[in-house]
Structure 1
């Protein structure tokens, strides 16, 4: 079976004929795509890392800060749901480049805001571009690499980890040196635009328009085991569990730095250092995706249970900088290094090969829509129950709920080995 692709994705250049040349070319493509995805990490974590000085200047409350940190997720949900249509109409490559240009432009515009409303608008609009970018990039990688998609999802997600590691460090250091929270957003916006141009120039259509390799290589029984409908038990359970995982993760992303500053009296630099360790942990996605392919459903269950336990320790037992660095690192290992690529692989294997883009355009928006709810929920709970309990409810309990749900995924009703 083949996937319906836009006319813009029809191959324009021949694939390299020799295996060595093709492998080298694909490695360069993966690097270029990974670097483009690292700007998601830069954009996501720079704003929460600078939330304290932004809040001081604009008079923003914790609830408003949580909303601003995660408002981009609403447009990821809205535009992500439409991304399947965009890909079918314009092709993966053009959607990826357009999305990357859009959110880089709005990242550049964030420092121009002079009020809470303007800041919310620019921050929200970054999500529209991110939705198109991330859906296209994971559809592209999943279709080309087939049964090895989990491994390459992990490699791609490691670049996200690189971005989330660098952004708090760069942003906090630029703030310390220049005394302004605005400069990092100009830098990241311009860098993202340069990355978009590199994708346009160097990612060929034969890669962007690839047909699902798993269906070519595996026997037909792989597809026959899988339900023919896009919505089935496995895809539904996977989607709801990913929603809860996103709720937990994006609650952490939204207000963790502010928690360290407000509840534990960390400096902006120390909070940025602890937060950046998430990105170091996410770098383990280079082999986390491969591990996910090996451990399958039990890996998901164990990873979610450990994420819940780690966040409990983070909010209820650890005060020191080194302790927070360690728990933030573990959070990155579990979420970005293992769970995120594994959920995407499970979702794509839970549907027929021609539904890959549609399945991706469902599960990713659901994950990010959870963030639209979790950031404000975390912030609203703080004055009612305190920072620790608010973190326990929004970060710890939701991860535990996801662990229970994935027990109901049936591996026998999935494609591939």
Structure 2
């Protein structure tokens, strides 16, 4: 590891160090929340972008999840960069990339340029997410899955606020470009704040510095649990981003709701995701096998009804909440925790990178496959095949996990 990756890793002993650490972590969590909200711009504004760029429905739905292609391809490179340089450097690079890509959205002239900008945005989010996962599971080494749940709590909060704020801004200003400019410039401001305030003794702490030793887990990615979790994570990505990427378009074009009303439904996904901390605690108390299996089945039951048109708005809100609880808060958090626990504690960054690569690699296909299914059959058929069926497959695969081979 280079010297750049080894700044002072000892927490200062002065009385204010703990409060300072909490403040720095708070700044990172707020930034992460903003970046998560940013990622929903394309899906929430898809109908407007489609009209402005004259795109077909399959092409537009493809773009709504291409963000995750960037996330998928950059997950392992981000982990490697963390090992070579520092979490802070990789995190800052991610925030700047994501924010600049968001600003470039307003300059897109067609499918190809929008595709490039969205993938670039995903690369930025991958750098940020991998850094946050590695930082939280190292600093809070004794409760790693719960720490992931706490970070994922900010994902839920970003989803809640993002869908609502974007919808309100769109209807209030009447322009799809304005929300993108607001989010982009705000992100750059937060990057400057992180650069000036976050200290290496906090961001670069290692398990060794916290007196944690390796206990169980594989020393290579080529192990039974990681391979199985990689497949499950890829399928999960297709499920959850089939929902996040295309459901706003379904509600605006089929149910004919306004952008603000769509945001009012989608924010309940974020409300459900606010239980992420407790979803992580489930993974610390019970096995990933039982948690992922049971909750994937509940998620599958919910998705079966998502695209039925004769339901009340209140029912759509309830279903969005259920997807948030069982999908984002529990299954997502425990898939991430499973990847980390499948490897030795000293390989936390690699486990996080593998999770990001697999879940978002699968997610990158979600919009494209949903678009094909919708174009050739119907929205209801697409949801039941891509979401319900895949949830059942995930539950079955979870039964094959070997929890006795995971790290303690």
So what's the TM-score if we normalise by structure 2?
A: 0.94
**Residues 311-320 or 200-209, more deviating:** 311-320
1:351 equivalenced with 2:343 (yes/no): yes
- Give matches, 1:15-414, under 5 Å: 15-17=11-13, 21-212=16-207, 216-217=211-212, 222-223=215-216, 226-297=217-288, 298-316=290-308, 319-414=311-406
User: Does structure 2 conserve the Cα–Cα contact (< 8 Å) formed by 1:101 and 1:192?
Assistant: yes
Q: Hey, what's the Cα distance between the residues in 1 that align with 2:203 and 2:327?
A: 27
RMSD: 2.0
Q: Hey, what's the Cα distance between the residues in 1 that align with 2:76 and 2:404?
A: 28
Query: CA-to-partner distance for each residue in 1:12-58, whole Å, 9 max, x for gaps?
Result: 4852326x644433322331221121133212222211111221222
Query: CA-to-partner distance for each residue in 1:328-372, whole Å, 9 max, x for gaps?
Result: 111111222222222111211111122221222222111111121
Q: Secondary structure at the match of 1:53?
A: helix
Query: CA-to-partner distance for each residue in 1:178-234, whole Å, 9 max, x for gaps?
Result: 21111111111112112222222332212222222698346x6x33xx333332111
**Residues 147-156 or 334-343, more deviating:** 334-343
User: Does structure 1 conserve the Cα–Cα contact (< 8 Å) formed by 2:265 and 2:313?
Assistant: yes
Q: Hey, what's the Cα distance between the residues in 1 that align with 2:210 and 2:380?
A: 48
TM superposition shift of 1:132 = 1.2
Query: CA-to-partner distance for each residue in 1:221-279, whole Å, 9 max, x for gaps?
Result: x33xx333332111111111111111101111111011112222323222221112111
TM superposition shift of 1:129 = 1.1
User: Does structure 2 conserve the Cα–Cα contact (< 8 Å) formed by 1:235 and 1:350?
Assistant: yes
Q: Secondary structure at the match of 1:27?
A: helix
Query: CA-to-partner distance for each residue in 1:117-164, whole Å, 9 max, x for gaps?
Result: 222221121012111111111111112211311111111111111111
Q: Secondary structure at the match of 1:313?
A: coil
TM superposition shift of 1:100 = 0.9
TM superposition shift of 1:317 = 7.6
Stretches of structure 2 lacking an aligned partner (at least 5 in a row): none
Q: Secondary structure at the match of 2:364?
A: helix
The count of residues paired between Structure 1 and Structure 2 equals: 407
TM superposition shift of 1:292 = 2.5
User: Does structure 2 conserve the Cα–Cα contact (< 8 Å) formed by 1:6 and 1:87?
Assistant: no
User: Does structure 1 conserve the Cα–Cα contact (< 8 Å) formed by 2:255 and 2:309?
Assistant: no
- Change in 2 beyond 3 A, CA 1:204/1:9: farther
User: Does structure 2 conserve the Cα–Cα contact (< 8 Å) formed by 1:76 and 1:130?
Assistant: yes
User: 1:9 is matched with which residue: 1, 5, 8?
Assistant: 5
User: Does structure 2 conserve the Cα–Cα contact (< 8 Å) formed by 1:228 and 1:352?
Assistant: yes
User: Does structure 2 conserve the Cα–Cα contact (< 8 Å) formed by 1:52 and 1:268?
Assistant: no
Q: Hey, what's the Cα distance between the residues in 1 that align with 2:17 and 2:210?
A: 20
Q: Secondary structure at the match of 2:221?
A: coil
Moved over 6 A (4+): none
Q: Hey, what's the Cα distance between the residues in 2 that align with 1:303 and 1:203?
A: 37
**Residues 227-236 or 97-106, more deviating:** 227-236
TM superposition shift of 1:9 = 3.3
